[in-house]
Structure 1
Amino acid sequence: MGMIEQIFGVLFGSNRNVLAETAEVFRINAEADAVRWSSLQGAALDQFGREFRIVRRGWFDRLMDALNRVPRPAMALGTMGLFVAAMIDPIWFAARMAGIALVPEPLWWLLAAIVSFYFGARHQAKGQAFQRELAATIATVPQVIRTIDAVENIRQADDDDVAMTSDNPALADWQAGKPPRPSPATM
């Protein structure tokens, strides 16, 4: 047994690679790191998907959601209507505003609290619904990637078939690596 064979036996014998094991002390094994990262990402996506599962809503929930959409447009249109009313009939408008001036201050505070809580709760509910939809979208990413890869493979196979069966002499020369043939017009 030669000296080189003994050295290789020490380095690579018994299904071990001493060089790779030594290198991993100083540098992370990229393949193992990618596997760890992939499993971590998969676990996070699974947890995210379980947390924000899409629940089918009934007619009552949809009706309440539709009714919840009414106050904001109604307040905006009502405010613009007040401006129009002030221009059309200033005396009628002044009488209504005098009535509003008689509303006690605690009632204004109560109205402000109700409107603030309504819009705050609605904002939070819509934010959570957005998070659920985002989780559902992110969960479809692996399937989309597989579909894109399949389409690219089909396109590549189709391109290869078209190139190989082409009757175009210039394309055939190009594929064979030959210089282009002179055209009959230049002869």
Structure 2
Amino acid sequence: MGMMWRAMDLLFGGRNMIADTAEVWRENAEASGQRATQMHSAALNQLAAEYARPQRGWFDGVVDGLNRLPRPMLALGVLGLFGMAMHDPVWFAARMQGLSLVPEPLWWLMGVIVSFYFGARHQAKTQDFQRDMLASAARVPQVVSQIRALEEPAPTDNPALSEWRTIAGGKAATK
């Protein structure tokens, strides 16, 4: 048997002629699956690289922590002022009198700084939201095609199934 295999390999070059000929008209399902897996993996790797955070040091961590402080400090400060107004109204009134001495241009400057801080944060969040919406919209055709594939009726050219339906239909009619 081994001698016949060697002779066939010599004659046909060690290739499966039937499979090679069939692949001219029909795609190799295994190779197609491998290509799809590789493409899917490459897309996921690209997405992961796009959203990966670079390796950062301790200084970046400290700065990120400081950047997260203004919002909670402002909120807790305002709540603290309400609490102090109820707890010690004289203390609160003295502090508010001190704030009334701050010149108006300084208040405008403070308003600009706070507006830019929160405005930049709002813009960054809006851009992230838009990026997520575009990613979702890009998946719409794939989802629609999958839904259509699920809604398509099963093929009815199965002779055994057709025969069973006629037999089952006949039994249902006799009952």
* 1:56 alignment counterpart: 51
> Partner of 1:157: helix, strand, or coil?
coil
Q: Which moved more, 1:139-148 or 1:59-68?
A: 59-68
AA aligned to 1:120 is G
Q: Distance in 2 between matches of 1:76 and 1:63?
A: 21
Q: Distance in 2 between matches of 1:66 and 1:158?
A: 60
Q: 1:93-146 CA deviation, whole Å, 9 max, x = no partner?
A: 122222222222221111011111222222222222211111111111111112
Q: Distance in 2 between matches of 1:150 and 1:67?
A: 51
Structure 1 position 143 matched with structure 2 position 166: no
AA aligned to 2:84 is A
In structure 2, the CA distance between the partners of 1:86 and 1:71, relative to structure 1 (3 Å rule), is same
Q: 1:28-81 CA deviation, whole Å, 9 max, x = no partner?
A: xxxxxxxxxxxxxxxxxxxxxxxxx99415266898777655434432332222
TM-score, normalised to structure 1, is 0.48
AA aligned to 2:104 is E
Deviant stretches of 4+, over 3 Å: 59-74, 158-161, 163-166
> Partner of 1:102: helix, strand, or coil?
coil
Match of 2:154 among 138, 144, 157: 157
Structure 1, gaps ≥5 residues long? 1-52
* 1:3 alignment counterpart: none
* 1:113 alignment counterpart: 112
> Partner of 1:92: helix, strand, or coil?
helix
Structure 1 position 93 matched with structure 2 position 88: no
Q: Distance in 1 between matches of 2:146 and 2:62?
A: 37
In structure 2, the CA distance between the partners of 1:105 and 1:136, relative to structure 1 (3 Å rule), is same
In structure 2, the CA distance between the partners of 1:111 and 1:145, relative to structure 1 (3 Å rule), is same
Aligned length: 121
In structure 2, the CA distance between the partners of 1:65 and 1:129, relative to structure 1 (3 Å rule), is farther
Cα-Cα RMSD: 4.1
AA aligned to 1:106 is P
AA aligned to 1:74 is M
Q: Distance in 2 between matches of 1:117 and 1:66?
A: 19
AA aligned to 1:94 is A
Percent of matched pairs sharing the same residue: 52
